Structure 1
Amino acid sequence: MRVLVTRPRPDAERFAEELSALGHNAQVEPLFEVVFHADAKVDLTGVQALLFTSANGVRAFCSALAGHRPEDLSLQVFAVGDASARTAAEYGFTSIESAGGDVTDLTALVTRRLEPAAGGLFHAAGSKVAGDLKGGLEAAGFRFHRSVLYETREAAGLSAGLQAQLRHGEIDAVTFFSPRTAGSFVRLISAAGLEETLRTSLAVCLSAAVKERLEPLHWKSVLVAREPTQAAMLAVLDR
């Protein structure tokens, strides 16, 4: 199957490798570029745990904390999903738990594992956040600090090569990992006048919220992963 991967690099490239291992022909076209904030400041005073809601949050945190001390890497890490947890491990963190889901699952995991009196929580975030992680954890009594360490910038348009492929029906499936990416795809497709080119393509979505943003387009079918994980996305394409 010819599969288009729309998430930012390097997550797109990693997902493409997994698709290729399953026999798919993966093509990467990021709809957003991730830009770290060069002047970002990280203060971990009184923090008992780090919260990561994306792999890019891990990367941006480590970029902001260049020359980190060994004790920073020993802080407890709670990741929203397995991809974020895996990235944290790659960067050298030693105590990591994955909620294996969304922000609601992450909130529940943190409240089960930690006590508010033990210290604050630090969320390494992007300029756009989904869900109410702050509200849920503050309601449970935790001191919560969010630092915006990166932003994602939308692509100006679809590449000429991708537009030609869509016109010739050469994309069998398009994968979407966030509502924002899905909304961007709809806008870019409409701007290029390609709304009718997707009738032979599948849309593969991480969640129902992602699917909702794709409603303006006409697809062969819109599939939703059984749970919001990369493994579940791969399972949809491999069945």
Structure 2
Amino acid sequence: MRVLVTRPEPAASRTAAELRRRGHEPLLLPLAVAEHDVETLAAALARPHAAIAVTSAEALRALEAVPDMPTSILDLPCFAVGESTAHAAWTLGFRKVSVGGNDGTALARIIGDQKDIGFSPDRSLLYLAGKPRASGFETELAALHIPVEICECYRMRALAPSPSETERIIGEDSVDAVLLYSSESSRRLFDLPVLKSDAATLSSTRFLCLSEKIVAAVPEPFRSSCQVAPAPTEASLLSLL
């Protein structure tokens, strides 16, 4: 099966390796690239905090890129969305990692249940955030009255492959499935000029979405070809193939 992968590197290559292991042919078309703001992150790390929260492994890659990262940070409780982000936190060296479900709202509620941390305005939760991002985590933290410092330590810059590059990657054979991990990647995919000019390229393609929210970002003519993963994890998404 020919599968188009739209997520950024290095995640795209990991997904490609798993697809090959399963006997599929991955087509890598990253539609964004992460840009780290290590200066802003280093400044945030210099202030006292009671715990750290991450909703993406990209934030941990930004943290790893900070020169002379204070190792005392790794002693703080780290709250992570999803198993893969939690694994990245363990790998970086955090000693106390809690997994908070698979979305920001669930993570915020787990943090709210931690009565022994003692959040205060002087020792707040440090949220290593990206841009763009969903608002659910921050909204729930506010509802729970958890003081938080939001550090935008990376942004996802959109990539716009040229028509010739897109055609080279997709090739002349049909694409059996597209993996969509975010609403942003869905919008970027369907904004590509080569797909706008020739919608038939994906006329028989299945669009495998990590959540219902992503389906809403797929143009109406393609929504009947969408399938949503039973759970918001890559393993669940790939089970649809």
TM over 0.5: yes
Cα distance, 1:189 vs structure 2 = 4.9
Given the alignment of the two structures, is residue 96 of structure 1 paired with residue 91 of structure 2, yes or no? Answer: no
DSSP 3-state at the match of 2:197: coil
Cα distance, 1:149 vs structure 2 = 0.9
Which residue number in structure 2 is paired with residue 124 of structure 1? 128
Q: Contact conserved, 2:174 with 2:202, CA < 8 A, in 1?
A: no
Cα distance, 1:154 vs structure 2 = 0.9
Pairwise mapping of residues 1-239 of structure 1 onto structure 2 (< 5 A)? Answer: 1-40=1-40, 41-43=43-45, 45-64=47-66, 66-114=67-115, 117-118=118-119, 119-158=123-162, 160-163=164-167, 166=170, 168-189=172-193, 192-218=196-222, 221-237=225-241
Deviates more, 1:67-76 or 1:223-232: 67-76
Identity %: 28
Unaligned 5+ residue runs, structure 2?
A: none
Aligned length in residues: 236
For 1:17, give the aligned amino acid: A
Normalised by the length of structure 2, the TM-score is 0.88
Partner deviation per Cα, 1:180-205 (whole Å, 9 max, x = no partner): 11111111156651322111111110
Cα distance, 1:102 vs structure 2 = 1.0
For 1:86, give the aligned amino acid: H
For 1:224, give the aligned amino acid: V
Cα 1:18–1:172, aligned 2, differ >3 Å: closer, same or farther? Answer: same
The CA RMSD measured in Å over matched residues stands at: 2.2
Q: Contact conserved, 1:211 with 1:222, CA < 8 A, in 2?
A: yes
Q: Contact conserved, 1:79 with 1:98, CA < 8 A, in 2?
A: yes
Q: Contact conserved, 1:6 with 1:30, CA < 8 A, in 2?
A: yes
Cα distance, 1:138 vs structure 2 = 2.4
For 2:16, give the aligned amino acid: A
Q: Contact conserved, 2:38 with 2:62, CA < 8 A, in 1?
A: no
Normalised by the length of structure 1, the TM-score is 0.89
DSSP 3-state at the match of 1:83: helix
Cα distance, 1:105 vs structure 2 = 1.4
Cα 1:80–1:235, aligned 2, differ >3 Å: closer, same or farther? Answer: same
For 1:24, give the aligned amino acid: H
For 1:157, give the aligned amino acid: P
